[in-house]
A and B are shown apart, each in its own frame.
Chain A
Amino acid sequence: MSRTPGLLAATGIDKRFGANSVLRNVSLSLAPGEVHTLMGENGAGKSTLFRILAGIHQPDAGQINLDGAALDLRNPSAAYGHGIYLVPQEPALLKELSVAENMFLGMLPTRGWFPSRIDWKTIRGQAQDSLSALGLDVDVRDDAKHLSIAQQQLVECAKALLRGCRIILFDEPTSPLTGREVGILFAIMRRLRAQGCTLGFISHRMDEVSEISDRVSVLRDGAVTDEVDRGGFDRARLVRAMVGREVIFDRRRVRREAEGEPVLSVRGLAHAPVFSGVDFDVRPGEILGFSGLIGSGRTEIAEAVCGLREKSAGSVTLAGQDISTSSIGDIIEAGLVYVPEDRARHGVILPMSIRDNATAGQIGRLQGKSGILNRGREIAIATDTMRRYQVRARGIDQPVGQLSGGNQQKVVFGKWMSTNPKVAILDEPTRGVDVGAKDEIYRLIEELSAQGMAIVVISSELEELIVLCDRVIAIYGGKIAAELKGADVTAARVGAAFLGAEAH
Chain B
Amino acid sequence: MKYLFPRQPWDRALVAILVALFTGFCILTPGFYDGFHGTLAITEEFLPFGFVALGLSVVILTGGIDLSVGSISGLAAVIMAILIKSYGLNTWLAVLLAVGAGGGLGWLNGQIITRLRVEPLIATLSTNFIYSSIAIALAGASPPYGFGHAFGELGTGAIAGWLPVQLVIFIVMAIGFSGLITRTGYGRRLVMIGYNRDAAHYAGVSVASVERRAYCISGVMAAFAGIVLASYYDAVRADMGDILLLTSITMVVLGGISIFGGEGGILGVTLAVMILGVLRQGMLIAGFSDMVTTMLIGAILLSSIAIKNLFSSRGFDLGSIIRRLSSLRPPERMASKS
Contact = CB atoms under 8 A, between A and B. Distances in A.
Interface of A: 17-18, 22, 47-48, 51, 56-57, 74-75, 308, 327-329, 331-333, 338, 340, 345-352, 356, 360-361, 363-364, 366-367, 370-373, 401, 415
Interface stretch (B107-115, B144-152, B180-188): B180-188
B212 interface: no
B200 A371 contact: no
Contacts of A363: 185, 188-189, 205
Given A356-B188, A372-B183, A373-B188, A346 B204 contact: no
Interface of B: 179, 183-186, 188-189, 191-192, 195-196, 198-206, 262-263, 329, 332, 334-338
B200 A349 contact: yes
Contact of B186 (A17, A331, A351, A371): A371
6 contacts: A56-B334, A328-B202, A329-B205, A332-B203, A356-B191, A373-B188
Nearest to B195: A349
Residue in A328, A345, A370, A401 whose Cβ sees the most chain B Cβ within 10 Å: A328
Contacts of B336: 17-18, 401
A18 B196 CA distance: 24
Nearest to B185: A367
B151 to A, nearest CB: 32
B335 A17 contact: yes
A308 B202 CA distance: 7
Given A17-B338, A329-B205, A329-B206, A346 B199 contact: yes
B201 A308 contact: yes
B205 A352 contact: no
B196 to A, nearest CB: 5
B240 to A, nearest CB: 33
A454 to B, nearest CB: 19
A130 to B, nearest CB: 27
A47 B338 CA distance: 8
Contact of A352 (B191, B204, B338): B191
A434 to B, nearest CB: 15
A333 B198 CA distance: 19
Contacts of B189: 363
Given A352-B191, A371-B184, A371-B186, 18 more contacts: A51-B338, A57-B338, A327-B206, A329-B204, A345-B198, A346-B198, A346-B202, A351-B263, A352-B195, A356-B188, A363-B185, A364-B204, A370-B184, A372-B183, A372-B185, A373-B184, A373-B188, A415-B203
Given A351-B195, A363-B188, A331 B334 contact: no
A68 B262 CA distance: 49
Contact of A367 (B184, B191, B201): B184
Please list the 8 inter-chain residue pairs (A to B) with the smallest Cβ-Cβ separation, ordered nearest first.
A367-B185, A329-B204, A332-B204, A360-B203, A346-B202, A371-B184, A349-B196, A363-B185
A137 to B, nearest CB: 33
A196 to B, nearest CB: 31
Contacts of A329: 204-206
Contacts of B203: 332, 360-361, 415
Nearest to A74: B329
A371 B202 contact: no
Given A17-B336, A363-B189, A372 B199 contact: no
A415 B186 CA distance: 18
Contacts of B191: 352, 356
A328 B199 CA distance: 12
Contacts of B188: 356, 360, 363, 373
B207 to A, nearest CB: 10
Contacts of A22: 338
